[in-house]
Amino acid sequence: MAPTRPARPSAVPLIPTGDEGPRADASEAKGLGETRLGRLEGCADRFRSAQAGMSRVRWGMIGCGAVTEVKSGPGLYKADRSSLLAVTSIDAAMTASFAERHHVPRTYDTVAGLLADPDLDAVYIATPPASHRPLALEVARAGKHVYVEKPMALRFGECQEIIDACDAAGVTLFVAYYRRAMPRFLQVRSWIEEGAIGEVRTVRAVQHQPPAPEDLSPETLPWRLKPEVAGGGKFLDMAIHTIDILDFLFGPVTGVQGIASNQGGLYEVEDTVNAVWRHESGVQGYGSWCYVAGEGQDQVEIVGSKGRIEMEFFSDRPLRLITAGSVREVDIANPAHVQQPFIQTIVDELTGTGRCPGDAASAARASRFMDAVLADYRREKGF
Ligand SMILES: NC(=O)c1ccc[n+]([C@@H]2O[C@H](COP(=O)([O-])OP(=O)(O)OC[C@H]3O[C@@H](n4cnc5c(N)ncnc54)[C@H](O)[C@@H]3O)[C@@H](O)[C@H]2O)c1
């Protein structure tokens, strides 16, 4: 039997937005003009599965699109003590093609069919965000552990529903904030923990991009820019990874203020966002995200009392540690399948041999940050 381990604390600090449904404990910070810390009760006990004594994880997968081809799908069958047993999607030809290319032994025409497979221990949901909540609830009800793509759901309130459903079903919930297990981000975390830049004071995140060709016409607009499918634009789709890593490095965000607008007029969702925030640890942050810029930029800069760290967040260019006038560049290649190290930690946790560095609460906090920044914009636009 696998070892039993202590459950994580169930009270989780989050940012209320006023847009999250009845479960949230929201309070406005008087005078600061920022949204402040609240508490969320009732996160899944993540160690029940370890107590159940599972020795390997047999995965089912819902959706077999872009993210599954290289980033995640192979990670499910290449991780130790892990196999990808079954796949389904709404496109039967796509399902069959994925199964053939990746040697997945079972395919199903429907989600219900896959969930009825008694040999599956856990199900990875890799579909567009609007389907995450209903699918996660179905997977939980079927008694399978849930690994859902980011963002966990369209809004924080939906994340809470998923957390509650997993709790009620006694299954463990994981969300694909996989950078928490990627070597380059672990290097940054080590530098911070070792005090290489002293006390961290402030962090700056910038992502600016020109529009992609498919953004230019309603006929070619990707689902990522449709509010009913994605819940927001590229800010929600991509910047949420950065916000999650900053939570990993500096702890929960306790207050945030943001401005979102659409300046390019290419689509309905936001294309430009600026925000300032603070972490529970005292670190302050500010960010700028613009997806209708003339020139691209991708930068995270962490400033401490003795130096700073500079990196590109979405590329694998060298990290730069700048202290006392010296610059050290460290080149850390990304894994072939970027989700594989994170998937390994999920498998380790489910089999009682380790612990995943992200959890449902941290993933819900990322969604809540996004809700807070986008609240006014969504209200104005009516979605
Ligand atoms: N973690 C990452 O780095 C990363 C990268 C890209 C995408 N994603 C996330 O992964 C998810 C999927 O993105 P993608 O780019 O692979 O999308 P995609 O459009 O390429 O593929 C979506 C897949 O889901 C299937 N599908 C859609 N609705 C379904 C439903 N209701 N039931 C069953 N199957 C359904 C489609 O048939 C398709 O196979 C999104 O949440 C996205 O944000 C994450």
- Which ligand 1 atom is nearest residue 237's CA? 43
Looking at residues 42-53, what average pLDDT do you find? 48
* Closest C-alpha residue for ligand 1 atom 18: 65
In a domain, 376, yes or no: no
* Closest C-alpha residue for ligand 1 atom 34: 89
Look up the domain containing 161 and give its range: 12-179+339-370
How many CA atoms are closer than 13 Å to the CA of 55, on its beta-carbon side?
1
* 20 and 133 share one domain: yes
Alpha-carbon span 108 to 364, nearest angstrom: 30
* 18 and 136 share one domain: yes
In a domain, 26, yes or no: yes
User: 126 C-alpha vs ligand 1 centroid, how far in Å?
Assistant: 4
Pocket of ligand 1 (CB under 6 A): 62-68, 71, 89-91, 94, 111, 126-129, 131, 149-150, 176, 237
Residue at a domain's end among 334, 361, 378 = 334
* 196 and 58 share one domain: no
Given pLDDT bands bounded at 50, 70 and 90, which one contains residue 53? confident
CATH code for position 23: 3.40.50.720
User: 129 C-alpha vs ligand 1 centroid, how far in Å?
Assistant: 8
Question: What is the pLDDT, as a whole number, of residue 17?
Answer: 44
In a domain, 379, yes or no: no
* 17 and 145 share one domain: yes
* 147 and 251 share one domain: no
Q: From the centroid of its chain, how far is CA 116?
A: 27
Higher-confidence position of 81 and 46: 81
- The answer to whether residue 48 scores a pLDDT higher than 70 is no
User: 66 C-alpha vs ligand 1 centroid, how far in Å?
Assistant: 7
Looking at residues 92-110, what average pLDDT do you find? 98
Given pLDDT bands bounded at 50, 70 and 90, which one contains residue 317? very high
Question: What is the pLDDT, as a whole number, of residue 52?
Answer: 56
In a domain, 107, yes or no: yes
Q: What is the pTM of this model?
A: 0.91
Question: What is the pLDDT, as a whole number, of residue 9?
Answer: 34
In a domain, 5, yes or no: no
User: 346 C-alpha vs ligand 1 centroid, how far in Å?
Assistant: 20
Looking at residues 91-98, what average pLDDT do you find? 98
- The answer to whether residue 171 scores a pLDDT higher than 60 is yes
Question: What is the pLDDT, as a whole number, of residue 45?
Answer: 46
* 147 and 195 share one domain: no
Looking at residues 93-99, what average pLDDT do you find? 98
Question: What is the pLDDT, as a whole number, of residue 310?
Answer: 98
* 362 and 221 share one domain: no
- The answer to whether residue 24 scores a pLDDT higher than 90 is no
Tell me what percent of the residues of the chain surpass a pLDDT of 70.
86
Given pLDDT bands bounded at 50, 70 and 90, which one contains residue 117? very high
Looking at residues 92-98, what average pLDDT do you find? 98
* 278 and 139 share one domain: no
* Closest C-alpha residue for ligand 1 atom 25: 63
In a domain, 380, yes or no: no
Model pLDDT for residues 177-229, shown as the tens digit of each residue? 999 999 999 999 999 999 999 999 999 999 999 999 999 999 999 999 999 99
CATH code for position 271: 3.30.360.10
Looking at residues 23-46, what average pLDDT do you find? 37
Alpha-carbon span 107 to 62, nearest angstrom: 10
Could you give phi then psi for residue 62, rounded to 5 degrees? -110, 120
In a domain, 116, yes or no: yes
Looking at residues 271-292, what average pLDDT do you find? 98
Of 11-15, 169-173, 339-343, least confident by mean pLDDT is 11-15
In a domain, 2, yes or no: no
Looking at residues 150-167, what average pLDDT do you find? 98
Question: What is the pLDDT, as a whole number, of residue 325?
Answer: 85
* 175 and 189 share one domain: no
User: 29 C-alpha vs ligand 1 centroid, how far in Å?
Assistant: 37
* 273 and 322 share one domain: yes
* 162 and 203 share one domain: no
Alpha-carbon span 371 to 232, nearest angstrom: 10
* 85 and 190 share one domain: no
Please count the structural domains in the chain. Answer: 2
Query: What's the full length of the chain, in residues?
Result: 383
